[in-house]
Structure 1
């Protein structure tokens, strides 16, 4: 029993599964970093970085940068967003700025005024040029 606690001393994994909530009527100015998920019903003026999921409710607004594993939006966002897995935009979402994501799901009615790069789907111009040359060589 004591040896188990000595092995894990100074290392906490509990926060990774916890959900942080920023309630409606709350405004946070500054940077936030965590391991758990975040539910935002209030306002963030700054950057949010987490290895968990970010959920922005209908009353939520983030003005800054977000870096997370996955995200669901019903509220508003302005800035730069990097989502490793799936970014899901519900019909009430309003997104503007720059988005980098693995997958994008947009419901009818959502506003998406952003530049968007999807990882894994991006082809380099060099690869396209080589393919074109091979086709031309075969024809000739």
Structure 2
């Protein structure tokens, strides 16, 4: 019983620290965190947090990076998704795709990436424009229904 109480108390505490992966650190695998994350080592895998990610000058991520505010002074090979802003510093290297609301690229940065505006997911319930059918019974085009149509055609 004591462990269950302790566990629930710990989960309600929001961490306000930074997870730091030092130079010389090397990891193969995915990282999911509730903290800010700073990478100075090498990570071969996906890195996900709802907070800030900093890829330092000696940092390298070979995988997808997802966070709120992403600063890259090292190297990322993969998809970068920032819900707020992506900053690529003068020593930053990005190869892949960048989806972000705002981007800043300093002179000297090496960017070989497809850069796209991050679109927030559309809530079909609260947005009648994307509902499955119109009022008059006419079907509106909806990308969400396409897999359903494909499934029906495969079954027949």
- Is the TM value for this pair above 0.5? yes
Question: 1:119 & 1:46 partners in 2: Cα distance?
Answer: 22
Question: 2:89 & 2:35 partners in 1: Cα distance?
Answer: 22
Tell me what 2:96 maps to. Answer: 97
Residues 35-70 of structure 1: per-residue CA shift (max 9 Å, x gap):
110010000000011011000111000000111011
Question: 1:54 & 1:9 partners in 2: Cα distance?
Answer: 26
Residues 2-56 of structure 1: per-residue CA shift (max 9 Å, x gap):
xxx99x63533232x1100000000011010011100100000000110110001
By percentage of residues, which structure has more strand? 1
Tell me what 1:18 maps to. Answer: 17
Query: Does residue 83 of structure 1 match 2:116?
Result: no
Q: How many residue pairs are counted as aligned between the two chains? A: 114
Tell me what 1:54 maps to. Answer: 53
Scaled by the length of structure 1, the TM-score of the pair is 0.76
Q: How does 1:1-140 map to 2 (within 5 A)?
A: 9-15=9-15, 17-119=16-118
- 5+ long unaligned stretches in structure 2: 120-156
Higher RCO structure (Cα 8 Å, ≥6 apart): 1
- 5+ long unaligned stretches in structure 1: 121-140
Question: 1:36 & 1:9 partners in 2: Cα distance?
Answer: 18
- Aligned-residue Cα RMSD (Å) equals 1.7
Question: 1:36 & 1:117 partners in 2: Cα distance?
Answer: 26
Residues 87-114 of structure 1: per-residue CA shift (max 9 Å, x gap):
0011000101011001000000101100
